[in-house]
Amino acid sequence: MTINNVIVAIVAIVAVLISGDAYAAEAAVADYSQLGAGLAMGLAVLGASIGQGNAARGALEGMARNPQVAGTVQTAMMLALAFIESLVIFTFLVALFALGTI
């Protein structure tokens, strides 16, 4: 499955989800905020997982090439993973704020 097929599938799913309120006199804002919160969390988790995978790969390659600095590299990697995860937590809080639960 190519990236174009994935993009078309995502656009089709979003179009189906929002088509019910397209011609309604009173479109519920909560429906769109729930969709936005879900998409934001999905994209944040996707980006964070890619970033954490790249950070771990780089750290493991560095430790394999130079085992003497494994402790320093591991500390830096843990700090980087914490920063990446904090962005996901921040996105979660923004999504809750968009839903009106905070």
Question: 95, exposed or middle or buried, with CB in 10 Å at 0-12, 13-18, 19+?
Answer: buried
| pLDDT given at position 39 | 85
pTM above 0.75, yes or no: no
Residue 15 has pLDDT above 80, yes or no: no
Q: Residues with Cβ < 8 Å from 29, sequence gap 6 or more?
A: none
Long-range contacts of 97-102 (CB under 8 A, 24+ apart): 98/33, 98/36, 98/37, 98/40, 99/30, 99/33, 99/34, 99/37, 100/30, 100/33
| Full DSSP string of 70-91 | HHHHHHHHHHHHHHHHHHHHHH
Q: Which domains does the chain have, with CATH numbers?
A: 25-99 (1.20.20.10)
Q: Mean pLDDT over residues 6-24, rounded? A: 64
Q: Mean pLDDT over residues 2-23, rounded? A: 66
Under the banding of pLDDT at 50, 70 and 90, the label for residue 74 is very high
Distance CA 58, CA 78 (A): 12
Average pLDDT, the chain: 81
Residue 31 has pLDDT above 70, yes or no: no
